[in-house]
Amino acid sequence: MAKSVKVYSTSTCPWCIRAKQFLKENNIEFQNLDVSGDQLAADEMMAKTGQMGVPVLDIDGEIIIGFDKEKIKQLLGL
């Protein structure tokens, strides 16, 4: 079964754009949460990670801070 993937991002951050592009290239479906417009999403991200840097990826509950390509590949089995 496909894993649930959430991306916490802002529209302007280059690493967010790269992370989302990487997921698209690999045909991974994901839910994008824009933390700049959505305070609830921002609070959720800060509670999960204890920090405010974007992007944050939540892959079936496993948290990745930043665009860590190797870790994303590993968790998604790419």
Partner 1 sequence: MPIYDLIIIGAGPAGITASVYAARKKLDFLVISLDIGGQAAWSGDIENYTGYQFITGPELALKFEEHMRRYDTALREGEEVLEVKKSGEIILVKTNKADYQSRSVIIASGKKSKELGVTGEKEFKHRGLTYCATCDGPLFTGRDVAVIGGGNSALDAALQLTKIAKQVYIINNTVELGGDAIMRQKLQAASNVVILNNSKVISVLGDKFVSSIKIKSSDQEKELTVQGVFVEIGLTPNVAFAKDVEKNQKNEIKINLRNESSIPGIFVAGDVTDVPEKQIIIAAGEGSKAALSVFHYLSRKVF
Tell me the residue ranges of DSSP E strands in the chain: 5-9, 31-34, 56-59, 62-65
* Residues 11, 75: Cα–Cα separation, whole Å: 24
Of positions 24, 53, 62, 78, contacts partner 1 by CB under 8 A: 53
Q: Does 22 bind partner 1 (CB under 8 A)?
A: no
Q: Does 74 bind partner 1 (CB under 8 A)?
A: no
Q: Does 23 bind partner 1 (CB under 8 A)?
A: no
- Count of beta carbons in the 10 Å neighbourhood of residue 59: 19
Footprint on this chain of partner 1 (rule: CB under 8 A): 10-18, 21, 35-37, 39, 42, 46, 50-54, 65, 69-70
